[in-house]
Structure 1
Amino acid sequence: MAVTFHARSNSFPSRLHPHATHVDEQLARLRSSEEASTSSSYSICQRLDNLHELHESLEKLICLPVTQHTLAQEQNKKAVEQLLDGSLRILDLCNISKDAFSQMKESLMEIQSILRRKRGDLSGEVKKYLASRKSIKKTFQKVHKPLKVAKDAESLAVFGEAEAVTVALFDSLFSYMSGSKTCGKWSVVSKLMNKKKVTCEAEGNEFTRIDTEKTLKMEDVQSLESCIQDLEDGVESLSKSLIKYRVSILNSLGN
């Protein structure tokens, strides 16, 4: 699914163009965050925000007359089809994420209700929550295999690079949610940079901290609920920017 046209061709906007330069800077920042040694809800939220901004910048790049001319050329037809296919698959990942968030929030509401009332089937609700997390991993494994080709393929196209870092983000997100990865100690700098985002506390993962009812605390459930909301907001923003991005590509074909 790698994009085959060359982003540095004579007909494509020069990398010195302000829009193209800005996209390059955003991609570099995303690649840098992707290579970080640890994952946390804070870092994933930051990457989601950055991806939202990246796709807004790409949409502006697509709207340039010279870019639209390039995308409309017959020799780039296959590349454009690949771009549209790739963006659609990523939108599928957004929808999978949102469905998972919805399922987990339902379980967490029931768990909080039981903890407040101090009666009810707490063990059963925790099992439902664990089942929803397991289903995330299985669903992702089904869609991850075809997408991995784009992630591993060598591509010089700026749109292909954007697709690769976006898929990598969802890899991190689903791994984090399923408990496949844990986060290390988060820095004081991270806390000061953005107090709104939920971060990892010392060592651990919000999603795995309530895996057993024996050590379940209300503050852990509330922390996870806040974490899910931040992630859901980030995915929703990314989804909207991806839709605009797809529309701009389709519009370029109609010109």
Structure 2
Amino acid sequence: MATSPSSTSLQYQFRSISLPSRLHPHNTRIDVELNKLKTGQSSLVSSTVPTSGETIRTGLVGLAGLYSCVEELVHSPITQAALVQHRNGVLVEEALEGSIGFLDSCNAARDLLLVMKQNVQDLQSVLRRKGGDSSIDGNITAYKSSQKKVKKESAKCIRALKKMEKQNDLCSIFDVNYHLSDVIRVLREVRIVTISVLRFFFLFLSMVDSRPRPSGWSLIKMIAVTQLKGHKSFNEIGSVDAALQSLYGCIRNNDPNSDVQITRRRLGALGDSMEGLETGLDCLYRQLVRNRVSLLNILAQ
């Protein structure tokens, strides 16, 4: 059976690399950071358990560290000279254009996290004050409605990243010297892994399974992310959804055995996860801004 374009893209996306060490003293660090991120992203695809918020946070922080290494490379005089001289800086302009898309994705991600954090805090407040009282069913419904909007916006962000992935990757590496060809290769690999890390962030928010199916790569919406030994397994968001569904059913059926504490614990875990993701996003966003400023300074020289 022929390989689908999306399958080929993801296979390339998670390919391990080994860049030549002649590039720059910091090249070894770039190589190591890239391969760590690619290995992590590949494990998310093949994993049989749902992806946790902590795993996503680790990817965001690792990506920020990678951009820090790239910034040191970009500050190298030989790199700056090569970037400016090649086609009057077209490579820098292309990298700047890509950075706008990544900053937009980070801003969208932060907005969605703020919405989710507020949703969690509102429900926590209601459960503390009213427990399992029947009057909270409206609050549960409001939470579900807001979460649907988060998933819808996450899907839009995933499509935007997919569009970036399909766009031509930087300029050709033909007819350039060794150093510049390696710089282009680094920027290309960084772009690919950035799209991957951000995509998994939005997949986490929307509870979408990104694992391969026999027919190729697809995004399958599901609440139960996987089935282990007959038990449904959830990420933090799905865990709260399941608890709220159970609590809502108990309230509607006037069941006195509803366990509000389970819901409160899961909301607490989700709140902690959101805090971690926010920290990781802030770390990445700051580094993306620094990287963009460095590129702008090159053009200004």
Per the normalisation by structure 1, the TM-score is 0.79
In 2: Cα distance, 1:137 partner to 1:15 partner = 45
What residue in structure 1 maps to residue 156 of structure 2? 142
Structure 2 spans left out of the alignment, 5+ residues: 1-19, 171-183, 210-223, 248-259
Matched AA of 2:138:
G
Counterpart of 1:123 (choices 137, 157, 163) is 137
| SS, match of residue 240 in structure 2 | coil
Structure 1 spans left out of the alignment, 5+ residues: 1-12, 186-201
What residue in structure 2 maps to residue 22 of structure 1? 29
Deviation at 1:171, TM superposition (A): 1.1
Contact 1:45/1:230 (<8 A) preserved: yes
Deviation at 1:28, TM superposition (A): 0.8
Deviation at 1:161, TM superposition (A): 1.1
Contact 1:87/1:246 (<8 A) preserved: yes
In 2: Cα distance, 1:140 partner to 1:158 partner = 28
Cα–Cα, structure 1 residues 17 and 147, in superposed 2: closer, same or farther, change >3 Å?
Answer: same
* Percent of aligned pairs with the same amino acid: 32
What residue in structure 1 maps to residue 246 of structure 2? 214
Instruction: Select the structure of larger CA radius of gyration.
Output: 2
Matches within 5 A, 1:14-93: 15-36=22-43, 37-38=46-47, 39-75=51-87, 77-93=89-105
In 1: Cα distance, 2:126 partner to 2:134 partner = 6
1:227 aligns with 2:273: yes
Contact 1:184/1:203 (<8 A) preserved: yes
Give CA deviations for 1:176-228 in whole Å, capped at 9, x if unaligned: 1111136679xxxxxxxxxxxxxxxx932111122235346100000000000
Deviates more, 1:35-44 or 1:122-131: 122-131
Contact 2:54/2:277 (<8 A) preserved: no
In 2: Cα distance, 1:241 partner to 1:129 partner = 33
Deviation at 1:72, TM superposition (A): 1.1
Compare the two structures and name the one with the higher strand fraction.
2
Deviation at 1:159, TM superposition (A): 1.1
Residue correspondences, number: 227
Contact 1:94/1:235 (<8 A) preserved: yes
Counterpart of 1:102 (choices 103, 110, 114) is 114
What residue in structure 1 maps to residue 207 of structure 2? 179
| SS, match of residue 18 in structure 1 | coil
